[in-house]
Amino acid sequence: MLAEDRLQTIVNLVNEHGSMTANELMERLDASESTVRRDLTRLSQMGRIVKVHGGATAVARTVVASDQSVNERHGVNTEAKTAIARRAASLIGPDDFVYIDSGSTTERLVDFITETRATYLTNSIANAHALLVKGCRVLVPAGELKQITEALVGEQTVEALRRYRFTIGFFGTNGATPDEGFTTPETGEAVVKGIALSRTLRPFVLCDSSKFSVVSPVAFADFDDATVITESIPPELADAANIICAGNGQDGR
């Protein structure tokens, strides 16, 4: 069995049963103890399973299948969002063409932006207004205004974004896991996020640590397609190369 096939088989077995011992995996895979333990270590570092004494357990996950309104999200994890937003805002330079996604954490990001010489494009009406008040140059795409998240979505939004190339971008997400990627509940917003992220030279996903155990129905990017800014890195992702921990200058490497 090829190494990658063996890793996927382990993940499938652990997810199916909730947990597996190393001996059970050795038997199922017809593999040596050293091979299984090495694979469990690697999968744990990737965040795909949780390695425990004598075996592995599945990563605990919550499935979030519907959007909350921006107002509902404002009061959730406020300290984490503040730390993340402050760090993200410090990355913007005067010559940047910046994409800012909709969402409560990206709204907090706008609060900390001091670079008014950069050009900003956002699909969030609230973000556009806040940037304008700061004296920034602001662009908004065409599209349909989604009531619950106050975001512009739809074919017109997607077509507008295809014309741009952003130097840096900041994206919200409902869930973030190495195997499922960055996920969100609704297809329209997922398409907009995915297109904008693919048009961004340096994409950052603003993600408080609670979202590392969440999966939503629609993926908009793979986990390694962007750098994650979070306030706390969980142990199973401690070796991830694309995670920045806000507030202490450390990354996941």
Query: φ and ψ at 70, to 5 degrees?
Result: -60, -40
pLDDT of residue 136: 98
pLDDT tens per residue, range 14-69:
877 878 899 999 999 999 999 999 999 888 877 778 787 788 877 756 566 555 55
pLDDT of residue 253: 37
pLDDT of residue 224: 95
CB 100 within 8 A of CB 166: no
pLDDT of residue 135: 97
pLDDT of residue 197: 98
pLDDT of residue 161: 97
Q: Can you tell me which residue has the tokens 């299948």?
A: 65
**Spatial separation of the C-alpha atoms in residues 10 and 204, rounded to whole Å:** 30
CB 231 within 8 A of CB 247: yes
Buried b (16+ CB within 10 A) or exposed e, 139-169: ebbebeebeebbbbbbeebbebbeeeebbbb
What residue ranges do the domains of the chain occupy? Answer: 3-60, 63-251
| Token duo for residue 179 | 């195997």
Give the pLDDT of the chain (253 residues) as one tens digit per residue.
678 888 989 988 887 787 889 999 999 999 999 999 999 988 887 777 878 778 887 775 656 655 555 555 555 578 999 999 999 999 999 999 999 999 889 999 999 999 999 999 999 999 999 999 999 999 999 999 988 788 999 999 999 999 999 999 999 999 998 888 999 988 999 999 999 999 999 999 999 988 887 888 899 999 999 999 999 988 878 889 999 999 654 554 3
Q: Can you tell me which residue has the tokens 């103890």?
A: 33
pLDDT of residue 81: 92
DSSP summary character for residue 241: T
**Spatial separation of the C-alpha atoms in residues 25 and 147, rounded to whole Å:** 49
CATH 1.10.3720.10 at 3-60, yes or no:
no
CB 229 within 8 A of CB 87: yes
pLDDT of residue 1: 64
Find the helix or strand (DSSP H, E) in which 126 lies: helix 125-133
CATH 3.30.2320.50 at 63-251, yes or no:
no
Enumerate residues 6+ apart whose C-beta is below 8 A from 127.
100, 102, 106, 107, 110
Find the helix or strand (DSSP H, E) in which 73 lies: helix 70-74
Strands 97-100 and 119-122, by their bridges, are parallel
pTM of the model: 0.75
Question: In Å, what is the CA distance from 33 to each residue of 23, 50, 172?
Answer: 8, 18, 41
Distance linking the first and last C-alpha atoms of the chain: 30
pLDDT of residue 68: 53
Query: φ and ψ at 12, to 5 degrees?
Result: -60, -45
pLDDT of residue 72: 52
pLDDT of residue 57: 78
| Token duo for residue 140 | 């908004």
pLDDT of residue 252: 44
Q: Can you tell me which residue has the tokens 């297109």?
A: 195
